Chain A
């Protein structure tokens, strides 16, 4: 059974940094592309970033490009999101998600989400 567990969220001041982690189990992590998706309070889902199975390619939403970095450690079955220069608009629940198939752009599994609050 696929499990994705996020951690690393919390309260951070504007301009600050935070690193999210997602530990995966129940599948061969290194075979699948992975993504981060967020949801601001009371709002819809917003794609943040995706990374290919072998880290060859990474893509970002315009809203986070240049501030966020997605990475992964296939040996540790882990996905990361380094967030810098945070603003209150980054306040959201952040989900990690696994692709349906190794190269799919859709998602089959989601983590439970982790809350990031940017506030002074």
Chain B
């Protein structure tokens, strides 16, 4: 089965840049688009990135997505960190056999 693996947690200081990885196993991550979602405590998820690197309207360009086919992984980069960026982040993709797949989520602490 296709799986997406994320680090359990990351932390960084305000104003800095952080990168969250999402590594595919059991399939080629480049075969289907990857999305990234942000979930603040007590709230529903919101979409940050779709189709690997596209931002919905209203999402600041501090958030960017990229893909590294050589390592079968994608990354979410957040620059100019703000305390309001403290949240859980999930990557998501699709596999023809497994269906819709979510990563386990990464808790970002901004301190």
Interface residues of A (CB under 8 A from B): 35, 37, 44-47, 50, 59-61, 95, 100, 104-113
A–B complex contacts, Cβ < 8 Å, 9 sampled: A44-B102, A45-B39, A45-B102, A47-B99, A47-B102, A59-B99, A60-B99, A95-B44, A112-B44
Residues on B with beta carbons closer than 8 Å to the beta carbon of A107? 35, 37, 47, 92
B15 CB → nearest A CB, Å = 28
Interface of B is mostly: strand
Q: Is the CB of B45 within 8 A of A106?
A: no
Q: Which residue of B lies closest to A109 (CB)?
A: B47
A75 CB → nearest B CB, Å = 26
Residues on B with beta carbons closer than 8 Å to the beta carbon of A50? 99-100
B24 within 8 A of A: no
Q: Is the CB of B102 within 8 A of A110?
A: no
B110 within 8 A of A: no
Q: Is the CB of B50 within 8 A of A100?
A: yes
Specify which of B32, B37, B50, B99 is in contact with A45 (CB 8 Å cutoff). Answer: B37
Residues on A with beta carbons closer than 8 Å to the beta carbon of B99? 47, 50, 59-61
Residues on A with beta carbons closer than 8 Å to the beta carbon of B93? 105-106
Residues on A with beta carbons closer than 8 Å to the beta carbon of B44? 95, 110-113
Q: Is the CB of A44 within 8 A of B104?
A: yes
3 interchain residue pairs of minimum CB distance: A105-B94, A47-B100, A106-B35
